[in-house]
Amino acid sequence: MTYIVECNEIEKEFATLDLAMDYAKTLDAFVVIKGSGFEVAGKFGVDSVENGKTPDGIAYTWNKESRIGRVKKERV
């Protein structure tokens, strides 16, 4: 099976999903990865958050309580 990474109307083919995702991370742009019966889209690259920041130094502020849990708490 091969995987195709599409970005800005350019396509590149890879033998494995790991290779396709590694390449997508280097683009720092919105991409689509397609395989047989499989498609995923997004901007790849954030693998970790340390001390509240992503590897490129941007503050990471997402938290489950304020995003998902809040609505349920208000109903109870």
The answer to whether residues 39 and 12 belong to one domain is yes
The answer to whether residues 16 and 6 belong to one domain is yes
pTM of the predicted model over 0.75: no
The average confidence (pLDDT) of the chain is 82
| 50 pLDDT higher than 70 | yes
| 63 pLDDT higher than 70 | no
- Token digits of residue 53: 């920041």
The answer to whether residues 69 and 34 belong to one domain is no
Residue 30, domain extent: 1-45
The answer to whether residues 38 and 50 belong to one domain is no
- Token digits of residue 4: 């195709």
H helix intervals, the chain: 17-27, 64, 70-75
d(C-alpha 16, C-alpha 18), whole Å = 5
Mean pLDDT, range 55-59, rounded to an integer: 76
The answer to whether residues 18 and 37 belong to one domain is yes
The answer to whether residues 37 and 65 belong to one domain is no
